Amino acid sequence: RPFVGSLFHWQGTVLPDVIHNMLLVGIGSMVIFAAQVQFSWHLDVAGIHILGTIVGFLLIFRSSNAFKTYTESARIITAFTCATADVLTAGVCYLRGAENGDQVVTAKLRETKTMVARLLLGYCVLFKLHSRVAYSGYMLGAIDNDVKVQVDFDMLRLKGLLTEEHYKQVKRALGLTFDLAHQQQCGAELVWRVTQETMPRPALCLVAALRRCFLSMAGTPAGYAERVLQIADPQLTNLLNIYAAMVEQVSTPLPLPYCHLCRLLMVMFLLVYATHIDPVMGFVANVVIPVTVSLAMLGIDAIASEIEDPFGDDPNDFELMPVIRRMELEVLMAMQMGVAPEAANDFVWVPAPAQYDEVQEFLIHVSNLDRVNEQVMEGIARPARIDLSAMADFGCAQPLVSTGWGSARVVPTSP
> Sorting pLDDT into bands at 50, 70 and 90, what band is 411?
very low
Q: Cα-flanking dihedrals φ and ψ of residue 408, to 5°?
A: -70, 140
Q: What is the average per-residue pLDDT within 39-54?
A: 81
pLDDT at 109: 84
pLDDT at 236: 92
Specify the higher pLDDT residue, 104 or 80: 80
The lowest-confidence range among 83-87, 172-176, 184-188, 216-220 is 184-188
> Sorting pLDDT into bands at 50, 70 and 90, what band is 401?
very low
Contacts from 283-290 at CB under 8 Å and sequence distance 24+? 283/33, 286/29, 286/32, 286/33, 286/36, 287/26, 287/29, 287/30, 287/33, 290/25, 290/26, 290/29
Cβ(361)–Cβ(346) under 8 Å? no
For residue 362, count other CB atoms closer than 10 A to its CB: 22
pLDDT at 79: 94
CA–CA–CA angle 315, 321, 326 (5° rounding): 135
The answer, yes or no, to whether residue 108 has pLDDT greater than 90, is no
pLDDT at 396: 32
Specify the higher pLDDT residue, 107 or 125: 125
Q: What is the average per-residue pLDDT within 320-334?
A: 90
Specify the higher pLDDT residue, 351 or 263: 263
SS3 of residue 401 by DSSP: strand
CA distance 34 to 117: 69
Q: What is the average per-residue pLDDT within 147-152?
A: 89
Average pLDDT, the chain: 81
pLDDT at 398: 34
The answer, yes or no, to whether residue 206 has pLDDT greater than 50, is yes
For residue 184, count other CB atoms closer than 10 A to its CB: 11
Cβ(349)–Cβ(361) under 8 Å? yes
The answer, yes or no, to whether residue 350 has pLDDT greater than 80, is yes
SS3 of residue 347 by DSSP: strand
The lowest-confidence range among 25-34, 56-65, 86-95, 218-227 is 218-227
Q: How far is CA 96 from the centre of its chain?
A: 37
DSSP characters for 91-105?
HHHT----GGG-HHH
